[in-house]
Amino acid sequence: MKLMLLYRHRWLLIYLPILLALAVALAMVTRLWHPLPPPRLVIGTGPNQSSYLRLAQLYASRLEHHGIAVDLVTHPRPQDALQHMKPGDGAIDATFAQGLYAPANASLAPADGVQALAVIGHEIIWVFAREDITDMGQLRGRRIATSVAGSSNRIAADLLLAHLHIRPDEVKFVPEVGDSAIASLTGGRVDAVIHVATGDSQTANALARLDGVHILGMERAGALAARERRLRTVVMPQGAIELRSQLPASDLPTMVTQTHLLARPGLHPALQRALLDVAGELHVMSGFLESPGRYPTTVGSDFPVSPVALQHASGMRPWMETLLPFGMAQRTELFLYAVLPLSLLGVALLLRAPRYIDWRVDAALQHIYGEVRFMEEDLARQPAHKPVSIQPLLERLDTLERQVAQMQLPNRYAGRGYTLRQHLYQTRQRLIVMHAS
């Protein structure tokens, strides 16, 4: 490429490619590194009026204070949201789920499965029965309201009955829950209700206060908890539900399952930390049968724990988030770790770009000077009594002068070109003198 053409079009041929390369690099960093979290978070919940929906609304309110927009997506069943968090779907970013829906072994769960951010509480496996049933062993041959197959109520019922060596075909499961289960127990259409819910559940509180209905404790609860890791045992103290009415009438061994805050695989780490911050605000106070300060925690999770959650639990987080509000911290991190380094690199390249033209001019001129030097060395070796042998040197000099004449140098290099032509002229004069002698 001719030097004059390169110099005249230096913005198009040098500066513009550098700027485009920097823009592409910044776009790739933004796309691959994901320094900024998505602007919206989708939380999946159970049906309308469910406790999970109310909990999700609290999370949404807190997250919006951080500048994160939240979409709440309800499902007919609380566990349905888990199906939309698998790789390839990604319709749901976070949800709440009981440990009963966890894989059989969390440590052997597939790496691409949902991950737990924290255990945020527990839910009680309530067992309500008519007065003629004094222990759970008497549920054999009875009608039990447990909702549909695959629900947490049914899973819990299967685990409790299997512990008591009661086969599923030895009981009659009735797919009723909530108000319909209450009506069925009141009307005598079922003998017992197994219901998984928190201590403030309207259904549980209504069932506990029904005449002719009482709460059953779990025999050998410790043995069941030792064998089934998704269940824990707690003691429901006498009068824990209502002290004045002595509900329950005595201390009862009770089974609970943990409630988890879950995130889909690949959810942006900043959004995971924001969810964990909200969890720390909402669940630090003790709930029904929960000791103060126990939740949220990553200890004993029934689901594989997210690496981000483990780092958060140990106090590790980007230092920028400890100094600035959430949104500003993410933008500042993008600027410091992506925009600023690439900008400095771009400025350095743009400042060094003129040196490329200098290098091209130096290379062209040094080539001519090198040839002249070789000619002068050959000239010094020529015998004075053989002038005819100088003819090849004159031909080489003619070639160099034609190259210099065709070389179009920018005006800023005109002085160097003039000096080179003077040098060639002086060399020719020496050759002419030697040839004439």
| CATH for 167 | 3.40.190.10
Inform me whether the pLDDT recorded for 10 exceeds 60.
yes
Q: What angle do CA 182, 183, 187 make, to 5 degrees?
A: 120
Phi, psi angle pair for 187, to nearest 5° = -85, 0
Q: What DSSP assignment string belongs to 334-345?
A: HIIIIIHHHHHH
Tell me the Cα Rg of the chain.
41
H-helix or E-strand containing 193?
strand 192-197
Q: Tell me which of 317, 343, 360 is where a domain ends.
A: 317
Confidence of residue 141 (pLDDT cuts 50, 70, 90): very high
Percent of the chain exceeding pLDDT 90 equals 36
H-helix or E-strand containing 117?
strand 115-130
Residue-level pLDDT at 413: 66
How many secondary structure helices (H) and strands (E) does the chain include?
Answer: 15, 10
- What is the CB neighbour count within 10 angstroms for residue 65? 10
Residue-level pLDDT at 110: 46
Question: Residues 84-110: pLDDT tens digits?
Answer: 887 767 789 999 999 999 876 655 444
- Residues 199 and 248 reside in one and the same domain: yes
1-15, 106-120, 372-386, range with greatest mean pLDDT: 106-120
Question: Residues 193-235: pLDDT tens digits?
Answer: 999 998 888 889 999 999 999 999 998 999 999 989 999 999 9
Distance CA 364, CA 344 (A): 31
Confidence of residue 181 (pLDDT cuts 50, 70, 90): very high
- Residues 197 and 300 reside in one and the same domain: yes
- Residues 308 and 341 reside in one and the same domain: no
Residue-level pLDDT at 434: 65
Picking from 233, 125, 210, 127, the residue whose alpha carbon sits closest to that of residue 171 is 127
Q: Are 96 and 255 in contact (CB under 8 A)?
A: no
- Residues 192 and 48 reside in one and the same domain: yes
Query: Which domain, by its residues, includes 268?
Result: 40-317
Least confident of 125-139, 217-231, 335-349, 351-365: 351-365
Position with higher pLDDT, 47 vs 195: 195
Q: What is the pTM of this model?
A: 0.72
Domain contains 27: no
Domain contains 326: no
Calculate mean pLDDT across residues 287-296. 85
- Residues 299 and 375 reside in one and the same domain: no
Percent of the chain exceeding pLDDT 70 equals 83
**Average pLDDT score over the chain:** 82
Number of compact structural domains in the chain: 2
Q: Are 300 and 288 in contact (CB under 8 A)?
A: no
Domain contains 83: yes
- Residues 308 and 367 reside in one and the same domain: no
Residue-level pLDDT at 408: 64
Phi, psi angle pair for 127, to nearest 5° = -125, 110
If phi > 0 it is left, if psi is from -120 to 50 it is alpha, else beta; for residue 69 that is: beta
Residue-level pLDDT at 76: 86
Residue-level pLDDT at 174: 93
Inform me whether the pLDDT recorded for 324 exceeds 90.
no
Calculate mean pLDDT across residues 25-54. 80
Picking from 190, 167, 193, 189, the residue whose alpha carbon sits closest to that of residue 178 is 193
- Residues 304 and 353 reside in one and the same domain: no
User: Residues, the chain, total?
Assistant: 437
Give, in order, the Cα–Cα distances in Å from 314 to each of 51, 94, 395: 30, 22, 81
**Half-sphere exposure in the Cβ direction for 181 (13 Å, CA):** 31
Q: Tell me which of 251, 282, 317 is where a domain ends.
A: 317
Inform me whether the pLDDT recorded for 425 exceeds 90.
no
Confidence of residue 407 (pLDDT cuts 50, 70, 90): low
| Residues facing residue 115 across a β-bridge | 263
Q: Are 231 and 224 in contact (CB under 8 A)?
A: yes
Domain contains 8: no
Distance CA 311, CA 330 (A): 18
DSSP secondary-structure letter at 247?
B
Domain contains 23: no
- Residues 232 and 143 reside in one and the same domain: yes
Residue-level pLDDT at 332: 74
Domain contains 22: no
User: How far from each other are the two terminal CA atoms of the chain, in whole angstroms?
Assistant: 42
Residue-level pLDDT at 249: 86
Calculate mean pLDDT across residues 171-185. 92
- Residues 173 and 278 reside in one and the same domain: yes
Distance CA 36, CA 23 (A): 17
Calculate mean pLDDT across residues 33-61. 85
Judging by DSSP bridges, how do beta strands 192-197 and 143-145 pair with one another? parallel
